[in-house]
Amino acid sequence: MPPQASHNPHAPCPCGSTKTLQECCLDFIQRKRNAPTAEALMRSRYSAHSLVAVDYLWDTWSAEQRLRSNKNDIRAWAESCDWLGLQILATQQGGEQDDTGIVEFVAIYRQQGQLRQHHEISRFTKSLGKWFYVDHADE
Ligand SMILES: [Zn+2]
């Protein structure tokens, strides 16, 4: 079992923002407030993988995505990887005044000893003031 990122709120945020976890993604993951932008949601979902915050990952998935998976699969995936870093490459819309957004990112992780990277163009939608992850734009 690889060492998981610390839940220490004063540790650097896993999303690589250079802020501490507490100043960055933790409030979103603990549902104290909603991520204001698609990028903030994307970053907090990455951090939630690192922290294996399965309920948060589930709750920020669109209803369509939930039909295709379950919490056990999310947990197994998050735990099987050692999350090494996130890079946001581009964003389109996804601002506080928008209802849809696109975030292109690369996540670096290690799985079964192999260094891997996941490049994705993700689509997000906002409903009742909350951002949700919809799917890959390139699917
Ligand atoms: Zn963060």
Measure 63 CA to ligand 1 centroid, in angstroms. Answer: 24
Q: Judge whether 50 and 83 are in contact, CB under 8 Å.
A: yes
Name the CATH topology of 26-136. Nuclear Transport Factor 2; Chain: A, (3.10.450)
Measure 28 CA to ligand 1 centroid, in angstroms. Answer: 9
pLDDT attached to residue 138:
66
Measure 129 CA to ligand 1 centroid, in angstroms. Answer: 20
pLDDT attached to residue 6:
52
pLDDT lower than 70: segments of the chain: 1-6, 138-139
Measure 70 CA to ligand 1 centroid, in angstroms. Answer: 24
Task: Tell me the per-residue pLDDT of 36-45, one tens digit each, with 9 for 90 and over.
Answer: 999 999 999 9
Measure 92 CA to ligand 1 centroid, in angstroms. Answer: 19
pLDDT attached to residue 7:
76
Q: Judge whether 124 and 133 are in contact, CB under 8 Å.
A: yes
Measure 73 CA to ligand 1 centroid, in angstroms. Answer: 23
H/E stretch holding 111: strand 100-111
For the chain, the domains span 26-136
Measure 21 CA to ligand 1 centroid, in angstroms. Answer: 6
H/E stretch holding 126: strand 114-127
